[in-house]
Amino acid sequence: MNLPQPSATSTTTVRNLGILAHVDAGKTTVTERILYLTGATHKRGEVHDGTTVTDFDPQERDRGITIFAAAVSCEWDGHRINLIDTPGHVDFADEVERSLRVLDGAVAVFDAVAGVEPQSESVWRQADRHGVPRIAFVNKLDRAGADLDTAVASIRDRLHPAPLVVQLPIGREDGFTGVVDLVTMRALVWDGDTCAEGPVPDDLADEARRRRRVLEESVAELHAAALDEYCARSFLSEGTLTAALRGVTLGGEGLVVLCGSAYRNRGVEPLLRAVVAYLPSPSDVPPVRGTHAGEEQRRPAEPRAPFAGLVFKVNSTATGRLTYVRVYSGTIRKGDTVLDTGARRTERVGRILRVQADRHAEVGRAAAGEIVALVGLRNARAGATLCDPSAPLVLEPPAVAAAVVSVA
Where on the chain is the footprint of ligand GDP (CB under 6 A)? 21, 23-29, 47-48, 66, 88, 139-140, 142-143, 261-263
Q: Give me the least distance between CB of 25 and ligand GDP, in Å please.
A: 5
Is residue 142 part of an annotated ligand binding site? yes
- DSSP letters of 202-226? GGGHHHHHHHHHHHHHHHHHH-HHH
Cβ proximity to ligand GDP: between 271 and 366 the closer is: 271
Q: Give me the least distance between CB of 90 and ligand GDP, in Å please.
A: 12
Cβ proximity to ligand GDP: between 176 and 230 the closer is: 176
Q: Give me the least distance between CB of 37 and ligand GDP, in Å please.
A: 15
Beta strands in 23-147 (DSSP E): 71-76, 79-85, 105-111, 134-139
Is residue 53 part of an annotated ligand binding site? no
346 in Cβ contact with 390 (< 8 Å):
no
3-state secondary structure of 101: helix
Cβ proximity to ligand GDP: between 142 and 370 the closer is: 142
Cβ proximity to ligand GDP: between 66 and 356 the closer is: 66
Is residue 22 part of an annotated ligand binding site? yes
Closest CA to 358 of 90, 136, 31, 109: 31
- DSSP letters of 301-331? S-TTSPPEEEEEEEEEETTEEEEEEEEEESE
Q: Give me the least distance between CB of 30 and ligand GDP, in Å please.
A: 7
Closest CA to 132 of 93, 92, 101: 101
Any long-range contacts for 195-199 (C-beta under 8 Å, 24+ apart)?
Answer: 195/269
Is residue 313 part of an annotated ligand binding site? no
Is residue 89 part of an annotated ligand binding site? yes
Q: Give me the least distance between CB of 189 and ligand GDP, in Å please.
A: 16
Residue 113 phi, psi (nearest 5): -90, -45
Is residue 86 part of an annotated ligand binding site? yes
Q: Give me the least distance between CB of 379 and ligand GDP, in Å please.
A: 32
What's the farthest any 2 CA atoms get from each other in the chain? 67
Q: Residue 111, CB half-sphere, CA atoms under 13 Å: how many?
A: 17
Cβ proximity to ligand GDP: between 25 and 74 the closer is: 25
Is residue 21 part of an annotated ligand binding site? yes
Q: Give me the least distance between CB of 46 and ligand GDP, in Å please.
A: 7
Give CA–CA dist 237/331, Å, rounded.
40
Cβ proximity to ligand GDP: between 71 and 372 the closer is: 71
Cβ proximity to ligand GDP: between 52 and 82 the closer is: 52
Give CA–CA dist 345/379, Å, rounded.
9
Is residue 334 part of an annotated ligand binding site? no
Is residue 128 part of an annotated ligand binding site? no
Q: How far apart are the first and last CA of the chain?
A: 49
Is residue 325 part of an annotated ligand binding site? no
Q: Give me the least distance between CB of 108 and ligand GDP, in Å please.
A: 11
Cβ proximity to ligand GDP: between 23 and 382 the closer is: 23
Q: Which helix (H) or strand (E) holds 269?
A: helix 268-278
Q: How far is CA 321 from CA 137, 316, 353, 375, 381, in A?
A: 34, 4, 12, 6, 11
Give CA–CA dist 33/339, Å, rounded.
38
Q: Give me the least distance between CB of 52 and ligand GDP, in Å please.
A: 8
Is residue 236 part of an annotated ligand binding site? no
Q: How far is CA 224 from CA 114, 250, 280, 285, in A?
A: 35, 14, 20, 21
Cβ proximity to ligand GDP: between 118 and 364 the closer is: 118
Residues annotated in a binding site for GTP: 21-28, 85-89, 139-142
